[in-house]
Amino acid sequence: MGLLEVSWRAAPADIDEAQYVLADPFVGALNVAAAKARAIAPSAAEVIVAADTLVVADGHILGKPGDADRARAMLRQLRGRPHVVLTGVALRTADDQCWGAVVSTRVLMRNYADREIEDYVERGEPLDKAGGYAIQDTLFRPVENLDGCYLNVVGMPLCAVAAGLAALGLDVKMPADRVPPCGYCRAGAAVVSIRSRY
Which residues form the catalytic set?
A: 52
Closest of 162, 178, 182 to residue 170, by C-alpha: 162
Strand 193-195 with 143-147, pairing:
parallel
Integer-rounded Cα Rg, in Å, for the chain is 17
Angle at 26 between CA 23 and CA 30, to 5 degrees: 100
Straight-line distance from the first to the last Cα atom of the chain, in angstroms, rounded to the nearest whole number: 28
Strand ranges for 94-192 from DSSP E: 98-109, 143-147
Rounded Cα distance between 161 and 156, Å, is 8
